[in-house]
Structure 1
């Protein structure tokens, strides 16, 4: 699964007999932060093939607006045309997106809720057709909250990326942080702490009466109202589980 897999050339029966690593396909909004982070996983995790791609990847959706629905379109394009995804073999597909509220919008929370709900509906429709689940990874306000949680547990509300960046530079070893910097080698030893902090943060929001179960149409609004928040830990935890096997 680490290489491109041509469905027409490799039958399911033959493929099931091959000793190949599970593939985790990760489609992200940004071309720097998430891609730089996850591409480093292949240097440490030898029993899983991590494939991060971004909005500028080749294909018919290249350079299109990266709203949640278009990210799902990109994932579907990869599943249909490039990778033979088989969940029974451990393969998974994730779309990573930031909540990143637009405060110029009269109702930014409702607007973003509807955008992500449309993406989720597209995910559900594709699952009915293909039997393949595309997981949505949400971070509020941005992916960098995952980095901060490697060092600090916090329930402080962050307005935007700049606020998270400021806290990262002040309270972690990631001084003068920039999105195009590869920081995996600095933070990977703190992964277990980040996993615990994410669980603790979800419990905090649950105690406030919010629905923090797996993302679905009914709880997307709750998640968007939960700041800070990320479920990237579920993706990373799954990769770690595969590697241990």
Structure 2
């Protein structure tokens, strides 16, 4: 989340795993670059012993700067690199992020954007509730998530609180945006594409395969 929504990024900047190169390739490897502790807690929790290798990094800067930094991380080292961002209900900002990601394609490798409108918390809401009403702000989405999960906090986000709802979240998100490219729709999220990828990796048993 951007500074405008008060999201903290006071967190270790890198969560990496140790693996052999051959094992990494067999199991699939994904780099997920995120804004802050909420996304980090969620995606770090998706790692499993037999699932794909997931590396989660928090990157600093404004939205466009983060996309540019993410572009620099695209390489053959990973099967895919994703940058998970909020749109903040700002279409101009969203368009800038999309242009930066497109410009960063490297020899067939490209940066994938996981965008949520207004914010990542909407993706979390969908694990528990088929919410379709527009939000006036990212803070409103966070308040709604708190209503659903009173114990939830940005710094205390745990995948285990959402694991059993991943399939439902993917289905609900796709009903709102079937192709995952209508980023101006309020609310919407295409994070279902990334979640589906991680759950259906050929070598993955995944934490939630239902």
TM-score normalized by the length of structure 2: 0.78
Distance (Å, rounded) in 1 between the aligned partners of 2:194 and 2:168: 15
Q: Secondary structure at 2:83's aligned position in 1?
A: strand
CA contact (8 A) 2:45 2:158 kept: no
CA contact (8 A) 1:27 1:74 kept: no
Of Structure 1 and Structure 2, which has the larger fraction of its residues in helix? 1
In the TM superposition, what is the alpha-carbon distance from 1:166 to its structure 2 partner?
2.2
Q: Which residue pairs with 2:175 in the alignment?
A: 200
Q: How does 1:127-166 map to 2 (within 5 A)?
A: 127=105, 129-166=106-143
Q: Which residue pairs with 1:76 in the alignment?
A: 71
CA contact (8 A) 1:98 1:142 kept: yes
Q: Which residue pairs with 1:53 in the alignment?
A: 57
Which of 183, 194, 198 in structure 2 is aligned with 1:223? 183
Is 2:92 the counterpart of 1:117?
no
Aligned residues: 187
In the TM superposition, what is the alpha-carbon distance from 1:38 to its structure 2 partner?
0.6
Q: Which residue pairs with 1:95 in the alignment?
A: 83
In the TM superposition, what is the alpha-carbon distance from 1:36 to its structure 2 partner?
1.0
Distance (Å, rounded) in 2 between the aligned partners of 1:25 and 1:165: 26
User: Larger radius of gyration, structure 1 or 2?
Assistant: 1
TM-score normalized by the length of structure 1: 0.68
Is 2:18 the counterpart of 1:23?
no
Query: What value does the CA root-mean-square deviation take over the aligned residues?
Result: 2.5
Q: Secondary structure at 2:72's aligned position in 1?
A: helix
Distance (Å, rounded) in 2 between the aligned partners of 1:230 and 1:175: 23
Distance (Å, rounded) in 2 between the aligned partners of 1:214 and 1:147: 16
5+ residue gaps, structure 2: 1-15
